[in-house]
Structure 1
Amino acid sequence: MRTIIHKADSRGYADHGWLKSYHTFSFAGYNNPQRMHFGALRVLNDDFVAGGNGFGRHPHNNMEIISIPLEGTLAHSDSMGNEGTIQPNEIQVMSAGTGVAHSEFNGSEVDPVKFLQIWLFPNKENVTPRYDQIKIDPVDRKNKLQQIISPNADDEGTWIHQDAWFHLADLDAGNTIEYVLKGEGTGVYIFLLEGQIDVAGEVLNRRDAIGITDVSSITLTAKENASILIMEVPMV
């Protein structure tokens, strides 16, 4: 087993007033050669957007983009003709492929929106751009794993152009779960949304993360009530 620890306070940080963003990996003005990516996981931004603000329309290509709202409402519009809002317990994915432009704004003029934006390198380039948005039930992750993303359209959750699997779990204090890796040559990046957990001999607190490779399964124990995002991605 090999591990790498990324403590919450080691992340890059940008404060633009209306936008406060923590960057796990190098992004925009944060450039850390030691923090470029974890395998196919290229971007993990923890964003706060004030009411009435957002990101104007901008382009992407050849990237799998995942948005996970944590609080508030995120308003989305793109060049594929999709327009609407995304809220907690919904997952949005966009395969940029040959090229897509989109905007993301706070859906409220008053209340902030908090969300994760995650980018993965795709396993094939120049695909036809694609958009999907699904609802998930929080009951389905209570003291168990809830799959939200996979490579397979027929599996639980939504899918992307990458051999990656994402799971959420909400664990009560004292509960333990085991995650068994699904792919070959993959690693697991665990991002603790809330609470405290014990994993791979390390204690993680809110917004801490750990990358783990060279294992076939991982055991996570909640030391206090915890919300966890588990991302299994190719390491090559």
Structure 2
Amino acid sequence: MHFGPLRVFNDDHVQPGKGFGLHPHREMEIMTYVIDGVLEHQDSMGNKGFIEPGEVQRMTAGTGLLHSEKNGSDTAPVHFLQIWFMPNESGLTPSWEQKKFTKEHQRNRLLPVVSNSQEHADALRIHQDVRAYLTTLDQGREVTLETVHPRMYVFVISGTATLNGTHTLSEGDTARVSNERLLYVSASSVAQLMIMELA
């Protein structure tokens, strides 16, 4: 149910013409990342459009909003991650932002895509002490994350990777890491991962 402020981590596959109709959220920070296909988004703030592969959306539900998510294609499925975090304060005004992050930008490095740190000026802002990174590693390459946060959460989007030389994860696998200051991630094959630092 909870891992620090992380409330929900959904790895969703939605078939053509299907989706989630208009439904309410409140007091939640919601992050969506599209892996393949196109996701159609609409909300009660007046936003309507599509989230395409490589794009990240951050939505603050705050005092309450309605939104819907549907497959934006009539022929191809959509694969996306949707992640919910508890906010660090209540009663926030609902808000929304979206940005594209290419695989080239994250190649063999940790690219911050959602963060509350002023050090990450290009990341989407979130109302919680959370930092989410994307990385796409070539075979044999490695990235290292040094953190002061007590928790890290790892999800393998594609490929195979090893954590700290001991735990090998494949596509769709997750790891919860507690009380480790350093995280070494090495790729056994070309691999894409999402890694989060959590308060």
Question: Which residue in 2 is equivalent to 1:164?
Answer: 130
Distance 2:95 2:149 in 1: 26
Out of 4, 7, 24, which is 1:59 matched to? 24
Verify: 1:229 aligned to 2:197, yes or no: no
Report the TM-score, using the length of structure 1 for normalisation.
0.81
* Number of equivalent positions: 197
Amino acid paired to 1:203: T
Q: Quote the offset at 1:136 in angstroms.
A: 1.2
Can you give the 5+ residue segments of structure 1 that lack an aligned partner in the other structure?
Answer: 1-35
Question: Which residue in 1 is equivalent to 2:157?
Answer: 193
Out of 78, 98, 115, which is 1:133 matched to? 98
Verify: 1:205 aligned to 2:170, yes or no: yes
Question: Which residue in 2 is equivalent to 1:80?
Answer: 45
Question: Which residue in 2 is equivalent to 1:178?
Answer: 144
- Three-state SS of the structure 1 residue aligned to 2:93 is coil
Q: Taking every aligned residue pair, what percent have the same amino acid on both sides?
A: 40
Report the TM-score, using the length of structure 2 for normalisation.
0.95
RMSD of equivalent CA atoms: 1.2
Distance 1:217 1:138 in 2: 24
Q: Is the 8 A contact 2:149 2:197 kept in 1?
A: no
Q: Is the 8 A contact 2:5 2:198 kept in 1?
A: yes
Amino acid paired to 1:188: M
Amino acid paired to 2:140: G
Amino acid paired to 2:181: S
Distance 2:75 2:105 in 1: 31
Out of 11, 14, 20, which is 1:46 matched to? 11
Out of 15, 26, 37, which is 2:2 matched to? 37
Distance 2:149 2:90 in 1: 20
- Three-state SS of the structure 2 residue aligned to 1:224 is coil
Q: Quote the offset at 1:186 in angstroms.
A: 3.1
Distance 1:45 1:73 in 2: 17
Q: Is the 8 A contact 2:136 2:191 kept in 1?
A: yes
Moved over 6 A (4+): none
Q: Quote the offset at 1:157 in angstroms.
A: 1.5
Distance 2:22 2:103 in 1: 31
Q: Quote the offset at 1:158 in angstroms.
A: 0.5
Q: Quote the offset at 1:185 in angstroms.
A: 4.3
Amino acid paired to 1:197: A
Q: Is the 8 A contact 2:9 2:83 kept in 1?
A: yes
Cα offsets for 1:136-170 (capped at 9, x unmatched):
12211111111101014662221110010000111
Question: Which residue in 2 is equivalent to 1:18?
Answer: none
Question: Which residue in 1 is equivalent to 2:74?
Answer: 109
Distance 1:92 1:185 in 2: 23
- Three-state SS of the structure 2 residue aligned to 1:123 is coil
Cα offsets for 1:87-106 (capped at 9, x unmatched):
01110110000001000111
Distance 1:88 1:218 in 2: 27
Out of 155, 163, 173, which is 2:121 matched to? 155
Amino acid paired to 2:92: V
